[in-house]
Amino acid sequence: MNAVIDIFASAGLWAAVLRIATPLILGTLGALLCERSGVLNLGIEGIMTFGAMIGWLAVYNGADLWAGLLVAALSGGVFGLLHAALTVTLGLSQHVSGLGVTLFASSFSYYVFRLLVPVAGTPPTIEPFQPIVVPALSSISFIGPALFTQTPPTYVAIMLALVLGYVLFRTPLGLAIRMAGENPHAAESQGINPMMMRYGAVIVGSALMGVAGAFLTLSAFNSFFPTMVQGRGWICIALVVFASWRPGRALIGALLFALFDGFQLRLQTVLNGVVPYQIFLMIPYLLSIAALALMARRARVPQALMQPYRRGER
């Protein structure tokens, strides 16, 4: 019991929470934006993998870190365009199309990586984002290191959650996106083009997923290796449901999730040898399933989610 208290009392845990949460925040916001417009984007896992690879590759070849993030965002947008063409224009099954995008994007990233980066004993590394230590504020106990020693993309992610919340619920554009996801026929009758809204939301949402992946290689770690995304994309899809499709709650959900994750990582070292480490690694996935079971009935699903829209067809 004391060990548990020690973990929660350590500043390291609280500093780690935001770092673990950042890719989840970005990915969840991306998936949330897509789903608010009525398109489930299961391409997320592959798009994150590709973003992680291409962002790292850009920086490895001499690009600026921010340029790396931008490249990852652009690549995400391109995969988003593909997903939108399949699901919005053609109206194909969003499940299968998303899985297709994931399979393609992840295998394509491994192919490109293997082709351009020679096999080596230790994977090549880059110089990742450094934490900004805010003077004075960062020395406040607990809150200081947790909030004021993060890398710049983390702050960007938190701001994006607020911006997305504002855009979706306080602007005409947000209303139009949400209408496309709730009732595209009604949206059309109001002079809104639901197809355009869905295209835009899926492309921008996928760009966020690309950045989420790039955070892993440009800030959390400093190298790329296959399977490094490890289901984070699927966890984001679960977090969207947990957040009931609201950006603010997505932020809180991702932070809660990261708190559990950071806690189990530290508990692992305490209970090393007593409990197999695999048990701890299972926790994030089991937690996501539990969160889904808890929230699925209560959450307000966008009414037209997964329904293709065809003009003049009901």
Partner 1 sequence: MRFERREHRSVALVIATPVLAVLCALALAGVLIAVAGAPVMEAYWRILVGAFGSRLSATETLTRASPLILTGLAAAVAFRARLWNIGGEGQFYLGAIAVAAASSHLLGGLAPAVQIPLLLIVGAAAGIVLLLVPLWLRLRFSVDEVVTTLLLNFVAVLFVSMLIDGALKDPMAFGWPQSQPVADAAVLPKLLARSRLHIGLVIALVLAAAVHLLQSRTVFGMQSRAAGLNATGAVFAGVPLSRTLVKVACISGGLAGLAGALEVMGVQGYVTKDLSPGYGYSGIVVAMLANLHPLGVVLAALFTATMFVGADGMSRSMGIPSYIADVTVALSLISMLVGVFFTQYRIRR
In the bound state with partner 1, the residue whose beta carbon lies nearer, of 93 and 244, is 93
Minimum CB–partner distance for residue 191 and partner 1 (Å): 19
Q: Which is nearer to partner 1, 67 or 286 (CB)?
A: 286
The DSSP 8-state label assigned to residue 231 in this structure reads: T
**Cβ burial, residue 64 (10 Å; 0-12/13-18/19+):** exposed
Q: How far is CA 96 from CA 90, 107, 214, in A?
A: 13, 16, 25
What six digits make up the tokens of 27?
A: 């990915």
Give every CB contact of residue 118 below 8 A, 6+ residues apart in sequence: none
Which CB sits closer to partner 1, 121 or 297?
297
Coil/strand/helix, residue 272: strand
Q: How far is the CB of 238 from partner 1 (least distance, A)?
A: 5
Looking at the Cβ atoms of 104 and 142, the one nearer to partner 1 is 104
149: phi then psi, degrees, rounded to nearest 5: -130, 35
In the complex, least distance from residue 250 CB atom to partner 1, rounded to whole angstroms:
15
Smallest gap from Cβ 115 to partner 1, in A, equals 5
Q: Which is nearer to partner 1, 18 or 83 (CB)?
A: 83
Pick the closest to residue 218 from 80, 46, 27, 23 (CA basis): 23
Q: Which residue in the block uniquely carries the two structure tokens 């966020």?
A: 208
Nearer CB in complex with partner 1: 54/235: 235
For residue 136 the two structure tokens come to: 């004075």
The 10 Å Cβ neighbour count of residue 2 is 7
**Coil, helix or strand for 20?**
helix
> CA-to-CA distance for 157 and 250, rounded, in angstroms?
12
Using CB atoms within 10 Å of the CB of residue 93, give its burial: 0 to 12 exposed, 13 to 18 middle, 19+ buried: middle
Q: Report the interface residues with partner 1, using CB under 8 A.
A: 42, 82, 86, 90, 92-93, 95-97, 99-101, 103-104, 107-108, 110-111, 114-115, 230-231, 234-235, 237-238, 241, 276, 278-279, 281-282, 285-286, 288-289, 292-293, 296-297, 310-311
CB of 174 to partner 1, least distance (A): 25
Nearer residue to partner 1 within complex by CB, 5 or 115: 115
Q: Report, in Å, the least distance between residue 106 CB and partner 1.
A: 8
d(CA 292, CA 298): 10
CB of 176 to partner 1, least distance (A): 22
